[in-house]
Structure 1
Amino acid sequence: MNDRMTIHELPEFWQQKVRSLKAENRNLRDRLKLAGSPGDWSQKTQKLVSESRGLRTRLRAAEERIAELEARTDA
């Protein structure tokens, strides 16, 4: 006993619905492939955190230098 139907046996409305959902599923799968694996994101995140840390260090050094220069001009 086979209770399954093919898409062609469905009414036109449901055929369109099934095709639309298949296309959406394909689109989502493609977007996931483009996003990369979770390991890729982990590595990217670690790299960005490291770069951010370095930039904050440089910013603090620049702020200190500015403060020194301002102190000289005020004196």
Structure 2
Amino acid sequence: MGKRLRRTAPQDGLGAEAHFANLGEALALTPRHGERLRGRAVILIDDVMTSGATLWSATHALRLGGAGPIYVLVMARATKAA
């Protein structure tokens, strides 16, 4: 339903700030799917959330495309090792 506007570097080993910089506005809805989602509720599901950058980028693309409300479901949250 979406498309990647530009290539992004792998997220492994990057800090939270670098995750957001890497994915910032890298995703968008395709015009066809944007029309289908306009004003409709969307549920984003992420298996493991690390920095939240991927969810932010996807949510941003959905909002720009007119979708809403947007709900996020995360199965697990990664944390730093003690």
User: Is the helix fraction higher in 1 or 2?
Assistant: 1
Identify which of structures 1 and 2 has the higher relative contact order when contacts are C-alpha pairs closer than 8 Å and 6+ apart: 2
User: Do both share a fold (TM > 0.5)?
Assistant: no
Task: Give the structure with the higher percent strand.
Answer: 2
Tell which structure's C-alpha radius of gyration is larger. 1
TM-score (norm 1): 0.24
